[in-house]
Structure formats: C-alpha cells, structure tokens
Amino acid sequence: MTKIIHKELSYAVRGVLFDVHNQLGPMLPEKFYQEAVAIGLEAKGIICETEKQFSVQYCGVEVGRYFVDVWAEGGKLLLELKVASEILPIHRAQAISYLKVTNADLAIVVNFGANLLEDERLPNRLRGKTAVLPGRIPQPNAVIPYPELTTQLIQLLYKVHHILGPGFFHHVYRRAVMIELRQQEIGFEYVRKMPVYFHNSFLGNQESHLILVENCVLVAAVAVQEVDEAMKSQLRGRMRRQNVALGILANFNSSRLDISFVKKEYSE
C-alpha cells in the first residue's frame, strides 16, 4: 500500500478546501480563494504563508522567480490554486516546478472553477533527481552544419541540464543557456519576437523566444513532454525568416537531455 505523505495534514487541508468551495462557490477571482484558504488553515492551527517567493539561481544569477500560492507548515505542503474549467497539464507542470525550486514534500493542485472542487496530489519525486550525463556527449555528424560551433553548443546545453536538472519552465533553461553563452564568449542574440509577412505584407510580430547564436544557429530551449514534428516545423519556419541553416531544439523536461537538429529545407 502506498504511504500517503503527511496524511493528517493533507486531510485537514482538504477539509478547508471543501469548506471554502462550499461557502464561496466556483468562478470567483483566485485571490478570494487564496485569502479564504489562508483564513481557514490558520483557524485550524496550520501555519501558512501566501505568495511566498522563491528564486532559481544559475552560476549566482537569478534565472527564475516563483510565487507559491499557499505555503504550509514550512514546506510540508504547498497549494497551487486555479480557477479553470478543469485541471490542465500546464497546472501540473507549474506545481512540479514549484516542488523543484522549493523542495516541498507535496503539492496539491486545486481548481475552484468547476461545480465540484477538483484537487490533485503531487508528491515531490524530483528530490535528489539529477540530470543523467551520457558516458560520452554526442557529437554532431558530418552532415550537420558548423560542426565546431555545434559541438560547443551541445556541450553547453548538457552543462546547463546537468546543473539545473529537470522540472523547470522554458524560461529558466533559456536564461541559463544565455548565461553560459556569455561566459564562454560565444556571440548570440535573444530573439523574443519575429515579424510575419504574407507576400511582403506585414501581418504582425510573433512571440518566438529563441537564441540566435553567431548569426547561424537558432537554439530553442524548451521543457515539454515530447518534441513533435509540429515543433520542428515551427522552428524550421523561424529559421527561414532568420535565414539560418541549422536549428537546435533542446528539451530539458526529463532526466536525459533530448537534442533535435533541424536543418533548412529551402533554397538559397
């Protein structure tokens, strides 16, 4: 039988959550539920803080900042509160990131947006989990452009993954990659947005959040369940707009770094 982490505390907290939902009903602003939950927890003698701030550091530089909705009993449990139609994968991912940065024992994702209260428990399975370095860092093959630069980038990406490990959002890894590029004196530009045209008509700017390295390689640092063909196709389209021959998709989501090379498929 699986042991329930902080069983008595969890039951007490769930009692407060159901009481708040019963009293307030669904679909109010999240802030109201947060304040009501804090009042209910304190009434039961459960020590808690709201909007507790945590920082993620990479080489002494802040690369991410997290605010936990409700932090209970010094990290035995944290609550991630939502007002949505249902609990979504992004909500679970956010809670897992909070477990990673706070080292709390347990996260509960709570949704006050439906007629019935929804809650999901997420034990901290990331504790002590580090990135797995391969026995030999893969090298680009002969058909990959810019082999020397690409080798540097692969080693750099593995270093970032090894230091941070899995469990964070995209922007944390992206900022860490840019710190490494700067420290290694590799030229780069952060491409936050790209213009989109149709037959020379400007349609608008598209969020991209890519790193253009030495004006020839476009790097996407992501944290997703799986890199699919749609993501590769999207990167290829952005490569075309930047007129670069190589793209690198680095997925930091799991204990093993997943690197995909995307080459251009358009004529000069």
What does the alpha-carbon distance between residue 246 and residue 236 come to, in Å, rounded to a whole number?
8
> Percent of the chain beyond pLDDT 70?
92
The average confidence (pLDDT) of the chain is 90
In this prediction the pTM is 0.74
Q: What is the mean pLDDT of residues 25-46?
A: 97
What does the alpha-carbon distance between residue 166 and residue 163 come to, in Å, rounded to a whole number?
10
Q: What pLDDT, on a 0 to 100 scale, did the predictor assign at position 145?
A: 84
Total residues found in the chain within this entry: 268
Judge residue 102's burial from the number of C-beta atoms within 10 Å of its C-beta, 0-12 exposed, 13-18 middle, 19 or more buried. middle
Q: For residue range 148-197, what is the model confidence (pLDDT) as tens digits?
A: 999 999 999 999 998 888 778 899 999 999 999 999 999 999 999 999 88
What pLDDT band is residue 230 in, cutting at 50, 70 and 90?
Answer: very high
What does the alpha-carbon distance between residue 192 and residue 124 come to, in Å, rounded to a whole number?
33
What pLDDT band is residue 139 in, cutting at 50, 70 and 90?
Answer: low
Domain segments of the chain as ranges? 7-123, 147-263
CATH topology of domain 7-123: Trna Endonuclease; Chain: A, domain 1 (3.40.1350)
128 Ramachandran zone, left/alpha/beta (phi>0; psi -120 to 50): left
Q: What pLDDT, on a 0 to 100 scale, did the predictor assign at position 135?
A: 55
| Dihedral of the alpha carbons of 79, 80, 84, 90, in degrees to the nearest 10 | -140
End-to-end CA distance of the chain: 62
Q: What pLDDT, on a 0 to 100 scale, did the predictor assign at position 254?
A: 80
Q: Are 122 and 96 in contact (CB under 8 A)?
A: yes
Q: What is the mean pLDDT of residues 223-251?
A: 93
> Percent of the chain beyond pLDDT 90?
71
Say yes or no to pLDDT of 232 above 90: yes
> Where does 67-146 have alpha helices with state H?
89-102
